């Protein structure tokens, strides 16, 4: 899922994100209002409060307001790991958003799994605002008793994305010179030192050449 950038002006780094950061955690929040991701980010980067977060996610998009290599003030733990080493993700429409909120949650699952992969963050380092400072947040997930389910969705999405088979990268396309129906021996490369790797029946269809062998 694309994370659209709408980053805070560098002139406000001292207020919003004064420290450089290498992310080690991701912190989940609920916004406790019914504003869109665009409006959440616009308000956050436009005011002069020492409150900030990296990404807001709604039912349609994810918007980034703070660079991922800068800290943000979202976890309530001062200069602890929540504020200094975690990416803050706000899930929108949690107050009374209905279906919009649950769609925002689904989008947040995708975004968080992407960030885990991007920054090599393990599932055990997905935290909540409450885990850092005791605030009842993400309030809706906690009230509905679905936090464990949400974390499991993230884990499944992360593992699904990581287990996708890589498509073979070919060296070129060719057709066999041998008659249709004849067998073709495959070898690891040219010359007498190449080893046998397989056998296919020629169909005169184009073949993708991989590692100097025919691949049908």
Over residues 68-123, the pLDDT tens digits come to 999 999 999 999 999 999 999 999 999 998 999 999 999 999 999 999 999 999 99
The more confidently predicted of residues 186 and 66 is 66
* Mean pLDDT score across all residues of the chain: 87
Residues 59 and 52 sit within 8 Å (Cβ to Cβ): no
Q: How does pLDDT run across 112-123, given as a tens digit for each residue?
A: 999 999 999 999
Phi, psi angles (nearest 5°) of residue 27: -110, 130
CA–CA distances in Å: residue 159 to residues 65, 103, 121, 123, 167: 27, 21, 13, 10, 18
Q: How does pLDDT run across 165-174, given as a tens digit for each residue?
A: 444 444 454 5
Sign, CA dihedral 97-100-105-111, equals negative
Q: Give CA–CA dist 26/118, Å, rounded.
A: 12
Q: What is the pTM of this model?
A: 0.76
* Third-level CATH fold of 3-162: Lysozyme-like (3.40.80)
- Which whole number is the average pLDDT over 36-65? 99
- Categorize the per-residue pLDDT at 162 as very low, low, confident or very high, splitting at 50, 70 and 90: confident
Query: What is the structure's pLDDT at 177?
Result: 60
Q: Tokens for 176?
A: 């066999």
- Write down the domain spans for the chain: 3-162, 172-215
Q: How does pLDDT run across 180-199, given as a tens digit for each residue?
A: 655 666 655 566 555 555 55
- For the beta carbon of residue 22, count every other beta carbon within 10 angstroms: 9
Residues 153 and 110 sit within 8 Å (Cβ to Cβ): no
């Amino acid at each position: 899922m694309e994370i659209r950038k709408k980053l805070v002006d560098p002139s406000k780094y001292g207020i919003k994100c004064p420290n450089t950061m290498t992310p080690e955690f991701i912190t989940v929040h609920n916004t406790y209002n019914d504003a869109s991701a665009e409006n959440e980010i616009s308000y956050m980067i436009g005011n002069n409060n020492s409150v900030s977060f990296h990404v807001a996610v709604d039912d349609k998009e994810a918007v980034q307001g703070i660079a991922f290599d800068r800290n943000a003030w979202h976890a309530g733990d001062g200069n602890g790991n929540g504020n200094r080493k975690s990416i803050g993700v706000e899930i929108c429409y949690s107050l009374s958003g209905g279906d919009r909120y649950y769609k925002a949650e689904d989008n947040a699952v995708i975004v968080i799994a992407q960030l885990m992969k991007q920054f090599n963050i393990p599932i055990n380092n997905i935290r909540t605002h409450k885990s850092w400072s005791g605030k009842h947040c993400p309030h809706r997930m906690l009230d509905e008793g679905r936090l464990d389910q949400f974390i499991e969705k993230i884990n499944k999405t992360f593992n699904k994305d990581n287990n996708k088979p890589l498509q073979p990268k070919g060296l070129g396309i060719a057709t066999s010179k041998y008659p249709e129906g004849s067998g073709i021996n495959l070898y690891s490369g040219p010359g007498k030192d190449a080893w046998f790797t397989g056998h296919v029946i020629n169909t005169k269809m184009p073949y993708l050449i991989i590692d100097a062998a025919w691949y049908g």
